[in-house]
């Protein structure tokens, strides 16, 4: 019994010294870093057709950048990765990029300012890229990659043109972009009626440096598009 009493302090010391080797179940691991980016381009006529969205009077009849979204290896968009590093005012930090952002990442709503729009996209999505790039790197990448691709021209070259009386298949949009940049994309839609939908957005996937096109990970999500294969997607003018 005496020997056990004498050994207790030694056992306690050993336990303290090597306790870092014992996993603590109460701690949560930090979220895994993003695997790729999604350059999400919105078809402005569809966006502005929503009754609850007040748009500027002369909005562009083309694609506008919604955002550059970090995503995981399964194609799931990452959101709000750090509440402690959210920005309340990014005007100063993006001042040097403002004129470029207005050209490639315009705010077409009248109920928010452009700064609120860019700040929202950073806090919701961009902040998830801080594991590998700075805020300035992120906005520069968004500008560079948006300028690099002209989706409307790509669609027109594939004989997909805006118009309310013509419908296309989802495969036609996918093939048009694939034939141009060589990779698979995502297509999202907005409901029009019981038989047709409007093209909402096209998702172009990039590697984790946002410099190289990659195939978007295989996904079973319809993203609002009908599963039927017939021509049922309209590109409104």
Mean local confidence (pLDDT), 184-212: 97
Q: Is residue 52 annotated as part of the catalytic site, yes or no?
A: no
Of 41, 114, 120, 121, the active-site residue reads: 121
pLDDT of 90: 76
The pTM assigned to this predicted structure is: 0.85
Q: What's the pLDDT band for 32 if we cut at 50, 70, 90?
A: low
pLDDT tops 60 at residue 214: yes
What local confidence, expressed as pLDDT, does residue 94 receive?
87
Residue 9 lies in a domain: no
Which CATH number is 91's domain given?
A: 3.90.730.10
Catalytic option among 41, 52, 66, 145: 66
- Active-site hit among 125, 174, 196, 201: 125
- Backbone angles phi and psi of 187, in degrees to 5: -125, 135
In this predicted structure, which of 82-91, 183-192, 228-237 has the lowest mean pLDDT?
A: 82-91
Q: How many structural domains are present in the chain?
A: 1
Query: Mean pLDDT score of the chain, rounded to an integer?
Result: 87
- Render pLDDT for 111-154 as a digit per residue (tens, 0 to 9): 999 999 999 999 999 999 998 999 999 999 999 999 999 999 99
Instruction: Tell me if residue 66 is catalytic.
Output: yes
The span from the CA of 115 to the CA of 33, in Å, is: 27
Contact yes or no for 127/70 (Cβ under 8 A): no
Q: Is 58 a catalytic residue?
A: no
Q: What is the pLDDT of residue 24?
A: 28
Residue 185 lies in a domain: yes
| Any domain includes 197 | yes
In a domain, 212, yes or no: yes
Look at residues 135, 155, 108, 126 and name the one whose alpha carbon lies nearest to residue 38.
126
Confidence of residue 193 (pLDDT cuts 50, 70, 90): very high
Is pLDDT above 90 for 215? yes
């Amino acid at each position: 019994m005496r020997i056990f009493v004498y050994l207790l302090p030694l056992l306690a010391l050993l336990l303290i010294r090597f306790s870092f080797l014992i996993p603590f179940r109460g701690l949560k691991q930090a979220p895994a870093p993003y695997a790729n980016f999604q350059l999400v381009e919105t078809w402005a006529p569809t966006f502005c057709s929503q009754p609850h969205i007040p748009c500027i009077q002369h909005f562009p009849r083309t694609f506008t950048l919604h955002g550059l979204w970090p995503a995981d290896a399964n194609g799931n968009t990452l959101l709000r990765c750090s509440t402690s590093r959210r920005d309340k005012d990014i005007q100063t930090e993006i001042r040097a990029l403002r004129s470029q952002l207005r050209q490639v990442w315009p705010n077409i709503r009248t109920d928010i300012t452009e700064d609120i729009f860019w700040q929202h996209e950073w806090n919701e999505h961009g902040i998830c890229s801080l594991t590998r790039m700075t805020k300035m790197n992120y906005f520069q990448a968004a500008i560079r990659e948006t300028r690099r691709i002209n989706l409307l021209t790509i669609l027109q070259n594939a004989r997909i043109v805006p118009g309310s009386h013509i419908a296309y298949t989802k495969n036609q949009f996918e093939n048009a972009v694939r034939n141009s940049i060589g990779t698979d994309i995502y297509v999202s839609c907005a409901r029009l009626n019981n038989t047709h939908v409007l093209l909402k957005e096209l998702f172009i996937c990039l590697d984790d440096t946002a410099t190289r096109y990659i195939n978007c990970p295989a996904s079973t999500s319809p993203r609002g598009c009908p599963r039927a294969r017939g021509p049922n997607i309209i590109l409104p003018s």
